[in-house]
Amino acid sequence: MNFNLLSPSEVKRLLERYVLRPKKRLGQNFLIDRNVLRKIIEAAELDAGSVVLEIGPGLGTVTQEAASLAAQVVAVEADRDLIPVLSETVGRCENVEIVNADFLQLDLPSFLTSRFGEKKCIVVGNLPYYITSPLITKLIEAREHIERMVLMVQQEVAERLAAEPATEGYGSLTVFVQYYCQVRIVARVKRTVFYPAPEVDSSIVRLDIRESPAAAVQDEALFFNIVRSAFGQRRKTLLKSLSGSPTLGWNRETAGAVLARAGIDPVRRGETLSIDEFAAIARAAG
């Protein structure tokens, strides 16, 4: 049986048949717009050889389209109540595997290797707002197994991921993601294309894993420690934020000397620094 999961009335009937209601605590907002679905699939650039990891398939809207184009789709759904629904909507697709699991609890590198071998996957997903940052962090930590990601996130989060230095959204998450990925906002998405409608608008964002990081850094742990320290107290100058960081353990003299070697003005604020400038500080401190 074919399901038109883009029809609000059919989605409602399907949920009623299984006596289900969308769970707000899990961020369940089901896509019901064909144009937005098309943009997600086009951005993913799937072909007959693609292997796909889907996070939060919900009712299987994106899953159906991905399965029609790709060689293999592994869909990880945390809500056990949706597993019978997915078994009905996409269970007959021979190239789809539905996994009931908390994505954040997976040993992701091992999980991806067990499903896809050495082949790099394409990730698609509509991420719940309350765990977006941990999910993206987990994906990037498993970047050796991933080619690119096409994610639906809150508009504010997408702007943070793509932010430029000295803008409101620019922060430690921005630097972390852009260090490892090329970021592009594919499209803004109105809240009205979901059932039920969330409280805010969303964006489709594409993250392409870089072949090598955005800047040359010998000690990545130190680099990110410096980044977090610089953004820890955004209103303070670099000299104050770095010398006041308990994790770096630098006094004012040490912080001043490192910034001088890096050629960075100590009265600047962390939010004005580019990734290259943060890398220069890390190299000067190494």
| pLDDT tens-place string over residues 241-254 | 999 899 999 999 99
pLDDT of residue 129: 85
pLDDT of residue 147: 98
DSSP secondary-structure letter at 270? G
pLDDT of residue 36: 98
Residue 250 belongs to domain with CATH number = 1.10.8.100
Task: Give me the number of domains the chain comprises.
Answer: 2
Q: Does residue 215 lie within any of the structural domains?
A: no
- Same domain for 164 and 229, yes or no, is no
Q: Does residue 14 lie within any of the structural domains?
A: yes
Contact between 135 and 127 under an 8 Å Cβ cutoff? The reply is yes
CA atoms within 13 A on the CB side of 63: 30
- Same domain for 103 and 235, yes or no, is no
- Same domain for 22 and 59, yes or no, is yes
DSSP secondary-structure letter at 227? H
Instruction: Encode pLDDT of 179-235 as tens digits.
Output: 999 999 999 999 999 999 999 999 999 999 999 999 999 999 999 999 999 999 888
Q: Does residue 3 lie within any of the structural domains?
A: no
- Same domain for 156 and 176, yes or no, is yes
Task: Quote the domain boundaries for residue 277.
Answer: 220-285
**Mean residue pLDDT across the chain:** 96
Residue 69 belongs to domain with CATH number = 3.40.50.150
Confidence of residue 25 (pLDDT cuts 50, 70, 90): confident
Residue type, 278: F
Number of residues assigned to the chain: 286
β-strand pairing of 202-209 with 146-154: antiparallel
- Same domain for 268 and 131, yes or no, is no
- Same domain for 116 and 236, yes or no, is no
Q: Can you say whether residue 26 is alpha, beta or left, with left for phi > 0 and alpha for psi between -120 and 50 degrees?
A: alpha
Query: Per-residue pLDDT for 84 more than 80?
Result: yes
d(CA 161, CA 178): 7
**Domain endpoint, select from 178, 209, 240:** 209
pLDDT of residue 2: 67
Q: Does residue 214 lie within any of the structural domains?
A: no
Confidence of residue 3 (pLDDT cuts 50, 70, 90): confident
**Domain endpoint, select from 167, 186, 209:** 209
